[in-house]
Amino acid sequence: MNSKELQNITMSTGGAYSLATRGAQDVINAAIPMVEEALLKIDLEEKRNFSFADMGCADGGTSLQMISQLITTLRSNNPNIEVKVHYTDQPNNDYNGLIQTVLGLGHFPSYLETHKRVYPLFSANSFYNQILPDSSLDFGFSATAMHWLSKKPCNLSNHVHMVGAEGEEYLCFSEQGKKDWETILLHRARELRSGGQLVFLNFCRDKKGKYLGNTTGVNMFFNFAQIWQDFMEQGLIREDEYQKMTLPQYYNTVEEFSAPLKNVENPVYQA
């Protein structure tokens, strides 16, 4: 994948994303029991080192508490184990801000202040590529990032987000979402060591049709689309500008997330 295909959002400087996105941190912290449960499925006692990756990490602030707790749980089972924490995001992420956050030079205290023999590493690489060598990763993690597609499959003629797409336009997004999800899983399958674990906290659509911005009351994306439509009708933007606002995102259903893991003929299942 070349740089022009990496159309995902870029997070801004020095912890700004984490300061403005309390919800993402709340999601990650609420998942700490899930992370610990997955961690304890790994045979930890004989390990000399442990490899963890935060994929789509932005500025690193939202996962600090979770990683600190993971290290605490890890060390309670193996006090002398060394820990590598791989922070990965696309090449145009703000790595100065990320490094400042992780080293405790930004707005938040760092787990490096309380945990020793922990080695943060930084990789400017999309999760649509293989990031780590084969069979080198013990635990992969990602939160609120993998709804961003590797590319925008088409512009929408009547909306800004796939939740409002119809007909062939919806099918284009659905197919791109399916392809991208399988790509992510295949790369992670190559990276994981035998017995390794993945925990992904992804935006999705539930069985009642609820999703981020559409839980109760107003629908965020439909409001965005209406505002953008009003701009076009007022002559503030052109029709092609309206359509180019289409966000390169896809919210899988639970069934779509699980499909490649259940189909015995799917390369993901076979991996």
Q: What percent of the chain has pLDDT over 90?
A: 86
Give just the sign of the alpha carbon dihedral 6, 27, 186, 57: positive
pLDDT tens-digit readout, 109-129? 999 999 999 999 999 999 999
In the numeric block, which tokens belong to residue 187? 């790369």
Task: Say how far apart CA 34 and CA 192 lie, in whole Å.
Answer: 18
The domain ranges of the chain are 3-148+180-207+253-270
* Res 5: pLDDT: 45
pLDDT tens-digit readout, 72-101? 999 999 999 999 999 999 999 999 999 999
Residue 50 bridge partners (DSSP): 83
Rounded to two decimals, the pTM is 0.90
pLDDT band at 15 (very low <50, low <70, confident <90, very high): low
Beta-carbon count within 10 A of 261 CB:
10
pLDDT band at 217 (very low <50, low <70, confident <90, very high): confident
Closest-CA residue to 53 (of 113, 118, 114, 131)? 131
pLDDT band at 9 (very low <50, low <70, confident <90, very high): very low
Report which DSSP code applies to 166: -
Fold of 3-148+180-207+253-270: Rossmann fold (3.40.50)
Task: Say how far apart CA 66 and CA 233 lie, in whole Å.
Answer: 46
Q: How far apart are the first and last CA of the chain?
A: 21
Cα-trace Rg, the chain: 20
* Res 218: pLDDT: 86
pLDDT tens-digit readout, 124-163? 999 999 999 999 999 999 999 999 999 999 999 999 999 9
